[in-house]
Amino acid sequence: MAGSLKESELSVKIYNKLQALGCPSVEGLFLREADGMKALLCTPSMHRLDILQWICTSICPSMKKHFSGLKGPQPDSQIKELVQFCHEMLLCRQDDFDLIKGVSSPQRQLALLEQLVDVLPRDESEAGEPLSEQVCRNEALLKELFSSPHLQTMLHPTCNPWPVEIRELLSRREAAGQSSNTASKKSRNLPSKQREDSLKEVTESLQKTNTALEEIHKECVFLHSDPQSSGRSSTHLSPPALRLAIVDLSQLMTAFSQLYDSDFREYCNRAAPQLRESAEAFSTAHSLLAACTKELQALNQLSVTSLALTSTVEGQQQCRRFWSRGHMQSLRELHTCTFSLPPPWVLLTG
């Protein structure tokens, strides 16, 4: 019940956004119930494909050429283009045709539509401004920026605004730049024969590197696989996903190196602790104390068991039962009566 309520609210939200953005496929539709909006957005139909096509062409206007090349209503080709576009935006898999057709779960369809609608431009000026006007406006902004007298002050401030970690990184880059400049000056002063030798060495190393890269490229099948091949599910990584993973890895390595230089270096350079000779004595004392503790626990358990056995015997002795001659007596009373009677030969002789 909670999932259907959330889907209905999301359907209303996406439908209202499409109407506010002026989607031609929802103009003239006066839907008031959430179920009708959900059926429009999550049921397979040409109307739904037209909505997706309008969203994709609004995000990327160059997609209009791909759709205009389709002759007549060709839903299969239209679905392939939409799947390829959503895959390039990392919103679905390359073979996720059910999601575009509208066969998958409504939750996935609404999540895809919400992500696509969020990318759309919000106002008409942003959506309808020609490219030439944008270029002119950006050029005017750059001219104003570079002609400002405060530009050099911004680039070279007297008070460095960077934090300590960034300052250390910038100082390292400056030192590396200075060392490269001095190395280039030294290379200029070298004689021509040494220059030729160094040039040959660099050329050989570049050739070796290029050969190694070509071998690696041959091993990576997914880099030269055809992304336009449809109908087959590709289990390999796509180049956009690989680029995204490499960028994430680079950012993580950069963040870790800065954190290591600022916080962890002083702790990592410490020497390992040395064990003392008295450690064995402490270990022996600990084992002896543990054995003594176990013996004391055993003695304590023995005393507890003895007390319990004594109380059980006393209870049996004091308990009154029918023994003989119809008298109820305890074991202690029976013992007293038995030993207080005279022997039988005394009674016979008497």
pLDDT per residue over 97-131, tens digit each? 888 888 888 888 888 888 888 887 665 444 455 55
Report the range of poorest mean pLDDT among 4-8, 27-31, 226-230.
226-230
Find the DSSP H helices in the chain.
2-21, 34-42, 46-59, 63-68, 75-88, 97-101, 106-119, 124-128, 131-146, 151-155, 164-189, 192-219, 239-259, 265-268, 279-318, 331-340, 344-349
pLDDT at 124 (0 to 100):
47
pLDDT at 185 (0 to 100):
61
What confidence tens digit (pLDDT) does each residue in 21-49 have? 888 888 877 788 888 888 888 888 888 88
Question: What percent of the chain is modeled with pLDDT above 70?
Answer: 70
Cβ partners under 8 Å of residue 65, min gap 6? none
For 271-277, the CB contacts below 8 A with 24+ separation are: none
What confidence tens digit (pLDDT) does each residue in 239-292 have? 777 788 888 888 898 888 888 888 887 777 777 667 676 777 788 888 899 999
Residues in the chain: 350
Identify the residue with better confidence: 196 or 210.
Answer: 210
210 pLDDT higher than 70:
yes
Residue of 43, 40, 35 whose CA lies nearest to 18: 40
CA distance 149 to 147: 6
What confidence tens digit (pLDDT) does each residue in 61-108 have? 888 877 777 765 677 888 888 888 888 888 888 888 888 888 888 888
Mean pLDDT of 185-203: 72
CA distance 165 to 255: 10
